[in-house]
Amino acid sequence: MRLRRAFVGWVTVAATLTTSVPASALTCFRPPIEHAALTADSVIEATIAARRPVHRVLNAVLAWFDRSTSLQFERFELVLDDVQVLRGSAAQAIQTHYEYLEPGGRYVFIAKRRWFGPPSVSLCRGYAIEAAQAAQLKAWLAMLPEPRRAERP
């Protein structure tokens, strides 16, 4: 077991240092989209109003050392507008590392909440799908009953 952990650790470090693939992609498990939608904290359709970097200082330090910040450190906060809740709770901001999510685009986000901060969409956590391509997913979610919330006394 220790040998396996050490091997995975070395592969993760080597991938981080030598490729543009985030190391978390080698060690994470991404559930199918149906399971992710059922267990997500927020499934929303929204338009991206703005995108701003989360770790500006860290990105500046890594750039100074001539390291690519797109490996796993560069995260963006997406400020959302015209939010439509499909399942779960609403979110006005989402964190992600996806650079292709541009302001003005409309997407369906399947986001998981981390232990701090806003919900997150990343390689191992959630999905971001263009709204025009998510018609079947939205129809399937509309058929499902809303999960019961635990009542507090």
CA distance linking residue 45 with residue 34, whole number of Å: 16
What pLDDT shows up at residue 73?
52
Task: Report the C-alpha gap between 31 and 84 in whole angstroms.
Answer: 24
Over residues 33-54, the pLDDT tens digits come to: 888 888 888 899 999 999 888 7
**Dihedral of alpha carbons 78, 117, 132, 73, sign:** positive
Q: Which of 6-20, 21-35, 97-111 has the lowest mean pLDDT?
A: 6-20
E strands, 14-143, where? 42-53, 76-88, 93-96, 106-113, 119-121, 127-130
- For the record, the structure tokens of 48 come out as 């991206």
Q: What residues form DSSP beta bridges with 94? A: 78
pTM assigned to the model: 0.68
Cα three-residue angle 42-32-75, rounded to 5 degrees? 55
Which residue would you say has higher pLDDT here, 144 or 80? 80
User: Token pair of 51, please?
Assistant: 């995108």
Q: Are 107 and 81 in contact (CB under 8 A)?
A: no
Radius of gyration of the chain (CA): 17
Residue 124 has pLDDT above 70, yes or no: yes
| Residue 121 burial by Cβ neighbours in a 10 Å radius (0-12, 13-18, 19+) | buried
